Amino acid sequence: MNSDTFKFLSELSINNNREWFTLNKHRFVNIKTEFEDDIRVLLSNMSAFDDELKGLSVERCVYRIYRDMRFSFDKTPYKTNFGAFMTKFGKKLDRAGYYLHIEPGKSMICAGLWFPSSALLKAERRAIYDNIEEFRDIINDKNFIECFGGLNFENSLKKLPLGFDKSFEYPELLKLKDFGVVKYMPDKFFFEKDWIDKVCKYFSYTKPLNDFLNFIIDEEQY
């Protein structure tokens, strides 16, 4: 990846209209191709530790830059980022996976389960409650903590959800609405020659979390 990606996205954020985009479409095509090539290499590398990603096509993982404006007050036509969500079903939600987000000043790598359905959320909370020591071993892993700082608690309930013992020792884990981690990355990180290798390593630390969360989904225990 090079600085052209960030330059294009920065300019797009200022000129988010069809006229400007049409004039710069050739730049977008080149940058999109490079991003997809990077994701292809990343998927190949990650399949060494996660069999689910073997044979997964880039097209199933990369998000379109065109925004769906049908139900949005924001009528700007384009996203100002490139993103890819990687699971064995590609961009499928209601499954834990790995997400790479490229945006000037806001780039990040994320992993876990985001915006689960109500039924799945309840099932995941029950799985954590019933297997608390296993779950704590996963989220307290040294590499996991050093890389991501632990789970993201920003989106949490204020009170313990119904159906759980109020004396439970780790209520904050049951209050979560998502089960994920975020690591923000400076733009310059993606100019390093080995950034894909580093991202692959960081994602490998999150596989046990994804496996725990996806077990419930694969067993259809909700």
pLDDT of residue 112: 97
- Percent of the chain whose predicted confidence (pLDDT) is above 70: 98
pLDDT higher than threshold 80 for residue 182:
yes
pLDDT higher than threshold 90 for residue 220:
no
Residues 2-17 pLDDT 10s:
889 999 999 999 999 9
pLDDT of residue 154: 87
Region 76-101: mean pLDDT is: 93
Region 173-182: mean pLDDT is: 96
pLDDT of residue 221: 66
Handedness of CA 18, 19, 20, 21 (dihedral sign): positive
Number of structural domains found in the chain? 1
The larger pLDDT score, comparing residue 221 to residue 96, is at 96
Domain that holds residue 180: 3-218
CA contacts within 13 A on the Cβ side of 61: 25
pLDDT higher than threshold 90 for residue 28:
yes
Name the average pLDDT for the chain: 94
